Structure 1
């Protein structure tokens, strides 16, 4: 298959396209439909997907480097062992997506919807989750050092055994999350105690 190099598509329907193993480089897709499309093992480099629909798409084993997925619909998509390296995912919805074995290498996941996602044992160092919806997300034994969780929705989220040292946790209500066994730095520990009404002097 011919690779997509510096191509531009707007409001194109790719539902019938077989894009497996395709390489996409510096290409832009605006409001395109990939619903239930086969994108297994696709490779993207510096691409932009703006308001695209990937609901139910097969993206397993795909690799994305410095690619933007802005305000995309990813519900129920298959992202098994997919890799996202320094990608910008702002505003995208991953409700009920298959995320087993996913790799998130830094990047900006602000305002994303990752409710009830299972991100246990993941290396999430430096990832930006600013104001993301992480309700009920499982971060057990994940490495979240220097991640940005500012004002993220973390009710019912679990961080058992996770490493939170250096993470930005501004605006987090620790009373609504499970942090048993989590590693914290001194400033985080003080914020944790104060959220339960303790006076730290």
Structure 2
């Protein structure tokens, strides 16, 4: 098992390198390439990945604690049963990534591209998803209590049975969402009704 502690990598190409089960602690990666890289079961702790490319990478069963992946690309990456605890993911693109079984415990996922993502039944209480793109995402029965969904794009997103109580829905287009069976608090319900022209007194 490879172990990396407080190392810094700038514009490195790791495409042909295998890091299976490797452990990274307090490392910094700037504009590095991990395209198609085997990163199964790796562990990152308080690492920073900035503008890195994980296109097609294999991150199955990987674990990330307090790490940040800012403006990274995970296009078509495999994140099956990966775990992200209190991670900063702002501006990162997950287009066509496999997120089945992923665990997201807190953190900042603002400005991320999660179009078509399957996040059904996830526990996302308190997560920051401000201005994230969740177009046509599956959020059925997802716990979004107290989440920050400010100006989040939720066009055709499935929110059937989701729990939205306490979530910040400022700037969200209620008309574009499928909310049958979703749980809302009173202020959200009022905003929802007003978006359809109802007069609430």
What's the TM-score once normalised by structure 1's chain length?
Answer: 0.99
Structure-to-structure mapping, 1:100-179, within 5 angstroms: 100-179=100-179
Q: Show the 5 A alignment for 1:176-195.
A: 176-195=176-195
In the alignment, what sits opposite 1:37?
37
SS at match of 1:187: helix
Structure 1 residue 199 corresponds to structure 2 residue 199: yes
Tell me if structure 1 keeps the 8 A contact 2:2–2:21. no
Find the aligned partners of 2:48 and 2:128 in 1 and give their Cα distance: 19
| Equivalent pair of 2:36/2:56 in contact (CA under 8 Å) | yes
Q: 2:56 matched to 1:78?
A: no
Residues in 2 aligned to 1:176 and 1:150: alpha-carbon distance in whole angstroms: 15
> C-alpha separation between the residues in 1 aligned to 2:173 and 2:91?
22
Gaps of 5+ in 2: none
Q: Is 1:88 the equivalent of 2:88?
A: yes
Give the CA deviation at 1:17.
1.0
User: Is the CA contact (8 Å cut-off) linking 2:148 and 2:168 kept in structure 1?
Assistant: yes
- Gaps in structure 1 of 5+ consecutive residues: none
Q: CA deviation at 1:111?
A: 0.3
Q: State the Cα deviation string for residues 107-163 of structure 1 (Å, max 9, x = none).
A: 000000000001100001011000001111110000000011000111111100010
Give me the whole-angstrom Cα distance separating, in 1, the residues matched to 2:183 and 2:156: 18
Q: CA deviation at 1:16?
A: 1.3
Structure-2 residue corresponding to 1:7: 7
Deviation at 1:28, TM superposition (A): 0.1
Deviant stretches of 4+, over 6 Å: none
Aligned residues: 201
RMSD over aligned CA atoms reads 0.5
Task: Give the secondary-structure state (helix, strand or coil) at the position aligned to 2:175.
Answer: helix
The Cα of 1:2 is off from its aligned counterpart by: 3.3
Tell me, yes or no, if the aligned pair for 2:2 and 2:19 is still in contact at 8 Å.
Answer: no
**Cα shift at 1:26:** 0.2
Q: What is the CA–CA distance in structure 1 between the aligned matches of 2:33 and 2:175, rounded to whole Å?
A: 41
